[in-house]
Amino acid sequence: MDAAAGARPMCSVCGVRPAVFYRRFSGHRLCSRCMRTSLERGVKRSLRGSNVFRPGVSILVYPSATSPPSSLAFARLVGLVERSYGGRVYTVLPSYFSARQGLNLLKDVVELVEPPPPVERAAGRLEDEVWAPRLLRLERGLASVSAELLGVDAAVLPVSRTVISMAGLEALISSRLHYMWDLDVAEAGGGRPVVLGLRSVEAELIAGYAALESFDATSRVRPKYVYKHVYKALVTDDKPELEFSSSSTISLLARASKISGCKCRACGAPVPCGSKYCEDCHTIWV
């Protein structure tokens, strides 16, 4: 947030309203309206080609433990955008997820439903701290199976470009390249398709919007980053654009490491034919 002394700076985009947020990636100061417009455009870019925005579609927003408040804010954004298409947006709150404030902002555009019992049992087996690449794979599986059991067309995970970059670096440095699949695939899942809904949006933008709209949530489950210091060394305050470069590089590496074969029944990741689940999903679904 930007709290300059004296007169508040004006929005760099519209030039009419006072700025409430400084976006490091572009160097723009944004008012609340232009901030939401920028976010909506980023969400549409993230979901482009996934058939999520089409007349009459039903979507499940599954909250991500990588950013609980942003998950609620993202659900509202998707609900507002989807309303113009005549679609329906649902969200669930697994037992490890607690919404402290902001659910009242969702009620007009998002329907809150109970997680299916099999999903709730699997989610309850998640450890308090999960390595970030593994967590994204497990969340994809939970989202995909939830959407299938609830009878909706697709699921969306509110995972930002920042998280994708950080998880990709974790997988790369750890030489566990099979996790790259989860970070690049546009639409996958063992049940219903799952899309990474913020892959074109940096974490600070959606987090800033969540704070301005007074969304507050916590998660018992937390992502673990072993090499976060490497990411911070790459993406410095004076070079935030390197986050985009890192994300693009990770996508290229992921495409080069594609593995053919059958897919996990939960997350959809490649597995040897004859196996129901990948090694990660097996730990919570079996």
Summarize pLDDT for 110-121 with one digit per residue, the tens.
999 999 999 999
Q: At 186, is the pLDDT very low, low, confident or very high (cuts 50, 70, 90)?
A: low
The answer to whether 71 and 105 are in contact (CB under 8 A) is no
The answer to whether residue 2 scores a pLDDT higher than 50 is no
What is the mean pLDDT of the segment spanning 164-179? 87
**pLDDT at position 238 over 50:** yes
More confident residue, 200 or 209: 209
Q: What is the mean pLDDT of residues 222-251?
A: 71
Q: Rounded CA gap, 132 and 106, in Å? A: 27
> CA 157, CA 267: separation in Å to the nearest integer?
12
Q: Is the pLDDT of residue 199 over 50?
A: yes
Residue 248: its pLDDT value, please? 64
Stretch 6-25: mean pLDDT: 89
Per the prediction, the chain carries an average pLDDT of 86
Using 50, 70 and 90 to split pLDDT, how confident is the model at 243? low
Q: Is the pLDDT of residue 3 over 60?
A: no
Entry field: residues in the chain: 286
CATH number of the 36-261 domain: 3.40.50.620
% residues pLDDT > 70 (the chain): 86
pLDDT band at residue 256 using 50, 70 and 90 as cut-offs: low
> Between these two residues, 21 and 181, which has the higher pLDDT value?
21
Asked if residue 210 has pLDDT above 70, the reply is: yes
- Which of 127, 180, 183 minimizes the C-alpha distance to 157? 183
Residue range 219-227: average pLDDT?
95
pLDDT, tens only, 74-131: 999 999 888 878 889 999 999 999 998 999 999 889 999 999 999 999 999 999 999 9
> Is the per-residue pLDDT at 28 higher than 80?
yes
